[in-house]
Each structure stands twice: as C-alpha cells, then as structure tokens.
Chain A
Amino acid sequence: DTGVSQDPRHKITKRGQNVTFRCDPISEHNRLYWYRQTLGQGPEFLTYFQNEAQLEKSRLLSDRFSAERPKGSFSTLEIQRTEQGDSAMYLCASSTTGTGGYNEQFFGPGTRLTVL
C-alpha cells in the first residue's frame, strides 16, 4: 500500500499524559500536513511541512502541540499534558508542491484520540 499511513489508529489516554502520533506520507510527496477533526466539523488545519521545514503553524495551536519532520519523510505530532478538549481525530495528509495553487492532498486514515 503506497498511501498515507498513520500510527496508532486509536489512542486512549488520561488527562495530563503526553501522546505522540506518527505519519508516513506518500514517498514522493514533499509536503506534509496535520489537521484535527471533531465530530460534525470539517478538518481544521494545524501545521504543515515542506520537506523538513515547518512552514506554517495555526495560531489556534497551543504550545502543548509540537510537530517534527526531521528528515523530510515521516512526521510526528506530540501533544503534551493532554486535556479532554484534545479529543479528536488527527489527520495527516501529503501532497506535492503543486502548481497554480493546485495541490491535491491525500489523507491518511487518522488517529482517533480520546482523553479521559
């Protein structure tokens, strides 16, 4: 399978714990994105990378959230001191740079986080 993969698919944690998610993009894609989706809402942009550089981070993202893409391939998203409000589906997507603003994003299956 050459699509975007995410691990784990489900994570249950207690409030205050740290969690880390991994995303493996499509191999030839240089862009990698993280989104968060809650029930009944559209995906909400969190951050994105071009190769290993983090180009943008949402102002909504608190300093408890950090993302890395150390070698321009896989990425990790860490949430420190989790809160119940962090419960959501965390989606990863990848794309090429695209032209004319066109960059079809390919989404992974997501990691569903439940904070108790």
Chain B
Amino acid sequence: GQSLEQPSEVTAVEGAIVQINCTYQTSGFYGLSWYQQHDGGAPTFLSYNALDGLEETGRFSSFLSRSDSYGYLLLQELQMKDSASYFCAGNQGGKLIFGQGTELSVKP
C-alpha cells in the first residue's frame, strides 16, 4: 500500500528550529509536497521536492532523499503563528497522498 509516516505532534519554543520528518512506503511518487493547515482552515502549500536535496523558501526548507524514502520540513525562527498541522504528501500523478499530519505547538 501507500503510506506516509509523520510524528503526530511536536512542541518547540519561539525562535527555535524544528524538523518534521516524513517517511514513505510507496512507489510512483513524482515528488514530496508539504502543506500547512491551521485549525479550521484550508491546507496551504509550503514546499515541493521533485529531486533529492534541499529546497529553501524563506524560513521554511524541505529535504528529500528518494533512496531513503525520506523527507523533512525544517522551520527556522519559529513564530507563534507557525502553530498548525503540517502534512507531507506524495505527488502521484495528479493526486496527493497525505500523511496523517504533525501538530506543531510553538510555546513562548
């Protein structure tokens, strides 16, 4: 089957750096995406890795290793507004296959 595994929750303090890991067991993923979802809100796109390596977008970076079926999202200079759920998702043709999500709590 197809599955993506993430930690269910992570807690960090304001200003810190946090890494959210994602491992997957499937074939046929074109790449790995990351989405953010605040309580009651819609998922919003953060980052996409088609190739191995690191992609940087402001305070957020994402990494992919296809040989290890592994990726991570790195959030730097955490802010209170970063408290949300973060999902990794495999791009499989047109559709996204989402992990169960990691709830990030940022404490003052």
Contacts and interface: CB of A to CB of B under 8 A. Distances in A.
Given A42-B99, A100-B30, A56 B48 contact: no
29 contacts: A4-B42, A31-B94, A33-B95, A40-B101, A41-B101, A42-B87, A42-B99, A42-B100, A42-B101, A43-B96, A44-B98, A45-B95, A48-B95, A50-B94, A56-B93, A56-B95, A91-B43, A93-B43, A100-B30, A100-B50, A101-B30, A101-B31, A101-B91, A101-B93, A102-B48, A103-B94, A104-B33, A105-B45, A108-B42
Contacts of B44: 107
Nearest to B88: A42
A45 B96 contact: yes
Given A42-B87, A42-B89, A110-B42, A105 B30 contact: no
B48 A43 contact: no
Interface residues of B, number: 22
Max count, chain A CB within 10 A of own CB: residue among B31, B33, B89, B95: B95
B98 A107 contact: no
Interface of chain B: mostly helix, strand, loop or mixed: strand
Interface residues of A, number: 27
Interface in B18-34: 30-31, 33
B91 to A, nearest CB: 5
A72 interface: no
A45 B42 contact: no
Contacts of A110: 42
B97 interface: yes
Given A101-B50, A109-B42, A33 B94 contact: yes
Contacts of A43: 43, 87, 96, 98
